[in-house]
Structures are given as structure tokens and as C-alpha cells.
Structure 1
Amino acid sequence: MNAQLTLDRLRGLRLIAQLLGTSTAFPRTPAQETVVGVSKHLLATQAQNRPAALKAIDLRARADTGTTADALNRSLLIRTWSQRGTHHLLAAEDVRWMTLLCSPRVLATSTKRRGALGLDDAAVDRARDILMEHATEPVGRQTAYELFASVGVDPGDNRGQHLLRHFGGEGTLVQGPPQGAADTFVLLDAVCPLSIDLTGDAALEEMTVRYFRARGVATQKDLQWWSGLKLVDIRRGITVAEEAGEIMPVPGPGGEAMWIPTWAADVTDAEIEATLEQVLDLPAFDEYLLSYTDRSHVMDSEHLVSIGPGKNGIFKAFRVIRGEAQPVVAGA
């Protein structure tokens, strides 16, 4: 087993893995200079706040502001509900397999809510059929609600929002190019006919390897929270990825069981220090915080109110100083 990680090394490895630092052990590829390449590297980027998600990708790609928005408008990137029932931004070809891998538990919970919303299976089926018939082109939210009503399904009292999110979790419906600030909804096949074909353990291994490769240092509970999968599945994915030589175990700063991608073992102390010397301004809901359920390694608990998550679950923009997330002070 590798030597115990220091807190500085953990922070540095995370920054490098998230394309916010550099190392010869993990050289950036030409693809990772593009917004699509960055999105593929991160696999799934929290996108509850759409403008913040676009900024997070632009920043890592070192691209002009608006480059990610253009890719979203062209459906090279897709905003959808791939995991945890919340919005994420993914490269189009990764949407279907990630959604089908990570969404079943969310769908099961969603199905149980139908009775409380006044929905039965027949109503859900009618709503799905009418929407799928029309969503070969992007459909606005209000239009979707009108379609539901046309088949006797009242979209009021959160039923319309529930149905859209549920259909998104089924892996066929995604958000289309936004119309200004308004959302649209479209069939994935209509905007991305070519998807990576991964299922079962192959999909689990792919997700596990790409998570650690792009997150640097994490625990199995971090990956469980990020993906929304059961812990038994996460353990199997880690075992397979470790046997394939893609990741390795290492004790964390407190002795906790963590894993790193194999390239991380070759990152030099000088590269860690150079990475930590940067001062970075990151947007709300950035993956530097949202990738891990235990954020204590990079954020002091005193900042929970000023950065998040607050009681409403909102994360604010923050500044990274020596790898630590700190609130942005106005005028500073």
C-alpha cells in the first residue's frame, strides 16, 4: 500500500485530476483542451445551475466564455438527469449508458411517489407516449405540459415536472438546446444517434475508472454518493478497476481507505506545490466540491453557510487557496 496521503497532496491530486493543475504524470491530451473533451474527462458535471456548469467546463478547457454554451446548443453536450435525480452535463455519447446505470434507484423512488401526486401507471404511459411522439424536435416545458393535458393528465401540482424528470431517468428523453433561459426537451436519439454501448459490469467499470481518473483521490462512499449506486455495486466496481491496474488503494490523511488513479503515484512534490500556489475562482456547484460526499478535506465546516450546502441545498461560487475552498469576499 502507498504511503499515507498528506492533506496538501490530496488537494493537489484532486486539482490536477480535475484539470485545474498540471503534472507530467497526467499530461493533458489535445482533446482535453476542448469543452467536449473536458466534459468526457469529468464524465458528468453537476448542472443544477446551468450557467455555472457551463463556466466550469469553459474554465477547465481554457476556452472563451460561451464555448460550452455553443456545444450545448449543438447537442454535443447534453444536460440531463443522469444520476441522483438532478441535472448533470455530459458528452452526448455518454448520456444513455450513464443514465441507465445510475438512474434505476431514482426511478424506483419516483414511481412510489405517483400515488401522492394523483398519477397511475396508465396516466404516466399516456403522458410518455404523447411526449415521445412530439419530442423528435425540442419541445418547451409549457408545450410538454399542454401535451400531457391533451391526454387527460393534469400537469399541475408538480405532476408535469415529475413526469419530465421521470422520463429523463429512463434514458430516452433529455434536455434539448435551451431557448434563452427556458428549458426544452427532446429524444436523445434525435440529437445523438451514436451512443457508447455499455451495460452491466462493463458500464460499472467504465464509470469507476473515469471517476477516479478525473477526481484524483476519493473514498468508496464518495463514489457512491456521486453516482447514486448501492455500496455493493461501488465495491464491485472498485475491485474490478483495481484488478485492471487503473486505481490503487492509499490511506487518506486521517487513515481512511481511499483510492487514487495509478498515474497519481508519479506526481512529484514540486508539481503538487506548484498546483497549490494557484488561486482559483470556481463557480457554484463546482465538481471540486460536488464530486465528494465528504468535503472536509477541502472545505472547513465554518464555510457551510457561506459556500454550501445550505438548508436549501444550494452551493455558491468559491475561491480556492492552497486547495482549500473559501468564500469569495466582495471587493477582494
Structure 2
Amino acid sequence: MGNKARHTRRIEADERRARLAVRHRLAGTARAASAEEVAGSLVALHATDPATVFLAVGARLAGKQGVAGPVAGVEKALYEDRALTRMHGMRHTIFVFPTALVPAVHASTTRDAATRERAMLLKHLAKGSEYDDAWLTETERQVLAELTVRGEATGAELGEAVPRLRAQYMYGVGTRQEGPQPLSSRLLRILGMEGRIARGRPQGTWTSSRFRWEPTPERPDPSDEFAHAELVRQWLAACGPATEADLKWWTGWKVTDVRKALAAIGAEPVELAEGTGHVLPDDLDPVRAADLEPWAALLPALDPTAMGWQYRDWYTDPAHKAALFDRSGNIGPTVWWNGRVVGGWAQRPDGEIAIRFLSDLSDEGGSEAEAAVEAEAARLRGWVGDVRVTPRFRTPLERELSGA
């Protein structure tokens, strides 16, 4: 007798939202005890806007940790324990990763982007300056030597110590974008992408992006195949089920690389509303929404949950896109109820957290939902204190609510 055809399990939207609630540390019983736990559960925290890291962690901390806020814990993990690392990752975006995952991210994603960035800089230097590859190599040597002596330094401090870093070149020669550009920020960014230096503690508060630079320790250099497979394994554990399109969007890889990684980890196909999805081979057991207590969350702009998938209709109403996203596809601060985005929020100049519901919740808890959201807003107000947070990428609803 031949083998029976294997049944492909279908995972509906309510189960996906239940998985999200638990694995992304959003449901009350799933809240985390530390920044490291949050980052490990989410794989990567968007860090283009530095405030997002702290707000994303704060929304997921349990008990007294959540009331006290995430600032001290995140800073300790980033700058003292080095359990978390800020670096360029997927889609040429800055993220905060668990440090143990950094080799896989670098080998699968950042290294190729750094190679392209270096080639582009050399091309611009050749067209718009007298500087060549040898000159750039010597400049890098001096920068790295100075940073080794100092231990840490800002870009401005390095420019004072290494005059070459203050050089300028002509960008976009012969185009409408032609104009002088400083070398320092671009070269330091490339050295960071290559893993030769890293962003350290910023100047100012936790919302600042004026980072100091530090030398980096040696780290493993895994094969491309292992690195691709490991990153997909981690991501599916956090975000599965998901489609190839979701993975291609999140990683920024070619679809062939996505498919090879899925095959390498033995990912299992499942049926989703939008097509074929994938989960880890040991992740087919049902997760029941009915087993969870109702939960609410206020997530920041660019939160890794809100930005986790390319296809978002199962947790975000398409009718709300114009209010919640900017023109580049960046999501603003969102209000969540039981796994769905139901509104947005913003901080006003006086510190008040303004909220607007975009969904009718009268059949989904109504007053219970409003009370839970207000409790999250009060918790956020409590730990943010006198700091004012303005998202790096403004969205229509956030602007309106903040009074901008």
C-alpha cells in the first residue's frame, strides 16, 4: 500500500494572534523579567529610532520591572553586560540583537551590505576627490588605533584626533545630488557594518542617537549556510507561521536564500489565509486563543511585532493603514487588544499619553478593553517621566494626537 497523503495543517488568524501574544511577551502571563528575555523572544528590536528599543522592552516587562521601566535594564544589557548589541542588520536597518546571534546576523546579512557600501564609497571617492583605496586604508588604521587607545569616542572626538576623518568628497558627481559630503559618518558606519567597531553608550538620554564608538571583540565567523539557517530558525520560532514573502521582506534576502534556509531547518508547510506558510518542524501543536486572558498593549513606532510580517491583515485592519503608517511603510505607535491593532497613541508635550481607538470594540470587551488600555498608558506615563518621545518617523495619527 502506498503512503497516505500528508495533511497540511491550517492555522487561522485567531491562533496566529494567540501565538503572537505568548511568543512576543505581550499577554499578561507571558511578560518578561528582563530586556534580554524580550530581545531573545523577538530576535531583533528595531533601533533606527533609539527610543523604540526602550519602549518595546517596557511594554513587555512584568510586575515591578514593568512599573519601574526598562531604561536601567536595557542600558546594563547593552553597555555593561554586552548581552545585547546594536548593529546594522536586515534591510540595511539598525537593530538591537542578542549578542549570541550577532555572528549569524553579520554572516547572513550585514557583511554583504558592508561590501556594497565600501565599494560605493570608493566609487564616489574616485570620482569626487583625490583620495584612493590606499589613503582610505591608512585613515581606517589611524581611526582604529586611536579608538583602541581611547576605548570609546564620539565621531567628533575621532575627527579631532585623526584629521583625515574630517575630509570631504563630492557625492553624486554629474547628477542633481552633487554636493560635498563628510567622510567621517560614512566611514564610521562602514567600519561598524564590517564589525570592526560598534555603537556604544550615547551622549544624552536614552532617546539620543549620538552614539560613542568602541572597538569590537573577536567573534565567530560562521558559514553563510549556517548563518542563514540559524537566523530563519530563530525568526520562525518567534514569528511562525509566516510565508516566504514575509521572510524575504524581513531579511532582505533573495528568495532563493530564504528557500535554502527553510529547507535546511526542515520547516513544515501550513495553510494560511494568504497562502502557504511555514513553521518549525516541532511547532505544529495548536495554540488556543481561549486559553489566554484578555490583554492590551501600547507598542511604539517601529515595534518588532507590528513590523514583523509583510502581510499584516490578520492583525491590522487595512482600513487603518493611512492613519498608522507613513509613506515609506513605517508604522507609528499602536494600541493592541487581544492580538489586533485597534488604535494609536502619542505622547503630548505635557507628557500625557493620548489614545484613539480606530476599531469598534463594543463586541470585544468594550469597557474592559478601554480600562486595560488606560492601565497600560498609566504604566507608560509612570516610567517615561519627564522624557518626551517623538518618533523618528511621524505618522498621520501620531502627529494629530501629539498636537504636532
Q: Secondary structure at the match of 1:84?
A: helix
The residue aligned with 1:259 is: 278
Q: Secondary structure at the match of 2:76?
A: helix
Q: Which one of the candidate residues 268, 273, 286 is aligned to 2:290?
A: 273
The residue aligned with 1:90 is: 97
Q: Which one of the candidate residues 234, 239, 246 is aligned to 2:263?
A: 239
Q: Is the 8 A contact 1:100 1:171 kept in 2?
A: no
- The CA deviation at 1:69 is 2.5
Q: Is the 8 A contact 1:15 1:288 kept in 2?
A: no
Q: Tell me, in whole angstroms, the C-alpha distance in 2 between the residues paired with 1:219 and 1:19.
A: 22
Q: Is the 8 A contact 2:296 2:338 kept in 1?
A: yes
Q: Is the 8 A contact 1:48 1:87 kept in 2?
A: yes
Q: Tell me, in whole angstroms, the C-alpha distance in 2 between the residues paired with 1:162 and 1:93.
A: 27
- 1:298 lines up with 2:305 in the alignment: no
Q: Is the 8 A contact 2:200 2:213 kept in 1?
A: yes
- 1:138 lines up with 2:145 in the alignment: no
Please tell me the residue identity of whatever aligns with 1:131: V
Distance of aligned partners of 1:226 and 1:328 in 2 relative to their CA distance in 1, 3 Å threshold = same
The residue aligned with 2:141 is: 129
- 1:16 lines up with 2:31 in the alignment: no
Mean CA deviation greater in 7-16 or 147-156 = 147-156
The residue aligned with 1:228 is: 252
The residue aligned with 1:160 is: 184
- 1:219 lines up with 2:226 in the alignment: no
Distance of aligned partners of 1:41 and 1:158 in 2 relative to their CA distance in 1, 3 Å threshold = farther
Q: Which one of the candidate residues 78, 84, 108 is aligned to 1:77?
A: 84
TM superposition score normalised by structure 2:
0.69
Q: Tell me, in whole angstroms, the C-alpha distance in 2 between the residues paired with 1:147 and 1:120.
A: 21
Please tell me the residue identity of whatever aligns with 1:170: E
- 1:315 lines up with 2:326 in the alignment: no
Aligned residues: percent identity? 20
The residue aligned with 1:250 is: 270
Q: Tell me, in whole angstroms, the C-alpha distance in 1 between the residues paired with 2:112 and 2:91.
A: 9
- 1:186 lines up with 2:202 in the alignment: no
The residue aligned with 2:231 is: 207
RMSD across aligned C-alpha pairs, in angstroms?
2.8
- The CA deviation at 1:44 is 2.0
1:283-306 CA-to-partner distances (Å, cap 9, x unmatched) read: 111111222222233222333333
TM superposition score normalised by structure 1:
0.83
- The CA deviation at 1:46 is 1.2
Distance of aligned partners of 1:311 and 1:158 in 2 relative to their CA distance in 1, 3 Å threshold = farther
- Paired residues in the alignment total 314
- Rg comparison, structure with higher value: 2
Q: Is the 8 A contact 2:19 2:287 kept in 1?
A: no
Q: Tell me, in whole angstroms, the C-alpha distance in 2 between the residues paired with 1:9 and 1:288.
A: 16
Please tell me the residue identity of whatever aligns with 2:137: D
Q: Tell me, in whole angstroms, the C-alpha distance in 1 between the residues paired with 2:203 and 2:76.
A: 12
- The CA deviation at 1:188 is 1.8
The unaligned stretches of length 5 or more in structure 2 are: 1-6, 170-179, 346-353, 357-404
Distance of aligned partners of 1:178 and 1:76 in 2 relative to their CA distance in 1, 3 Å threshold = farther
Q: Is the 8 A contact 1:208 1:238 kept in 2?
A: yes
The unaligned stretches of length 5 or more in structure 1 are: none
Q: Tell me, in whole angstroms, the C-alpha distance in 1 between the residues paired with 2:211 and 2:329.
A: 21
Q: Tell me, in whole angstroms, the C-alpha distance in 2 between the residues paired with 1:304 and 1:291.
A: 15
